[in-house]
Structure 1
Amino acid sequence: MHLPPGAQLLGREWLGFDETGEIALIRFQAQPSFTNRHGTIQGGFLAAMLDSAIGIAALAALTADLTVVTQNLDTRFLKPAGVGPITARARVVERTDRAIIVQADLVDTKGITVADATARLRILRKKTDPEGT
């Protein structure tokens, strides 16, 4: 599968689900170019990682004819994040026919949660291409 440019920039890698089958695991690669003046990962990149992981977890819970768009992303920055791998753990906490709520956290290589977020996403039916291209 071809990754969108934003996912490529973040070094997104789908790891699968945890042993419960309910928590999606997605790894990102925080680059030196993502750092702020303090040498830690700038919050906007962490928010982008959370948004990406939340979207992937939501899509994993839906049928192939549906997609999602983020309506809101409530993000908390808990600890400084360093350059290197950061793993997202995302799970669906609520779903209706029109919306899905997903919670995710970002964990560094030491097991420290550096940020978390809860998002509400709108569920949409994918548009079909009448020409089949």
Structure 2
Amino acid sequence: MTSKEQAIEKINQHAPKFISLLGGKLVDFDVEKDACRFEFNIGKDYCHSIDVVQGGFVTAMLDTAMSHAVMALNKDIINISSLEIKTTYLEPTRAGKLRVEGWAVRKGYKVAFVEGHIYNENDVLTATASSVAKLSRRAE
């Protein structure tokens, strides 16, 4: 197992419970680009209108990828708090396997600007998000 695979496994083992409830797991990251990719396998328990994922869960998946892109492998950052999140629903996000990508557009000492995308099983972009987040760093 490579060090990257070990890091992914460790992050998944220590992830907040809601990520596993939504069928989520980190599958890849790029430290240099402050980017990561999650897969979620959403069941119909999180849907309305038969198989349309409720918007709050869509935002939660996007927020997960965006926040992990900034802090997952940065030991200096101990917490990230969303100050604002804007989610755009381009078309219904339906139950099933989803790819959720997050990345930092710009990261300062106290604030990060991040974006995210959700793609369905057919590689169709269903929702996007942008967020401004406050970074809490370890005391020196």
Counterpart in 2 of 1:63? 74
Give the 3-state SS of the residue equivalent to 1:28 in structure 2. strand
Counterpart in 2 of 1:79? 91
User: TM (normalized to structure 2)?
Assistant: 0.80
Length, aligned pairs only: 125
Report the AA paired with residue 43 of structure 1: G
Counterpart in 1 of 2:128? 116
The percentage of aligned residue pairs carrying the same residue is 24
Supply the RMSD in Å over aligned alpha carbons.
2.0
User: TM (normalized to structure 1)?
Assistant: 0.84
What is the CA-CA distance between 1:94 and the residue it aligns to?
A: 0.8
Higher helix share: 2
Counterpart in 2 of 1:46? 58
Quote the Cα distance in structure 1 between the aligned partners of 2:121 and 2:106. 29
Counterpart in 2 of 1:37? 49
Q: Unaligned 5+ residue runs, structure 1?
A: 128-133
Q: Deviations over 1:104-128 (max 9, x none)?
A: 000001010110000111010247x
Give the 3-state SS of the residue equivalent to 1:97 in structure 2. coil
What is the CA-CA distance between 1:57 and the residue it aligns to?
A: 0.7
Counterpart in 2 of 1:130? none
Q: Are 1:89 and 2:101 counterparts? A: yes
Report the AA paired with residue 9 of structure 1: L
What is the CA-CA distance between 1:74 and the residue it aligns to?
A: 0.7
Cα pair 2:44 2:50 within 8 Å, conserved? no
* Equivalent in 4, 7, 18 of residue 6 of structure 1: 18
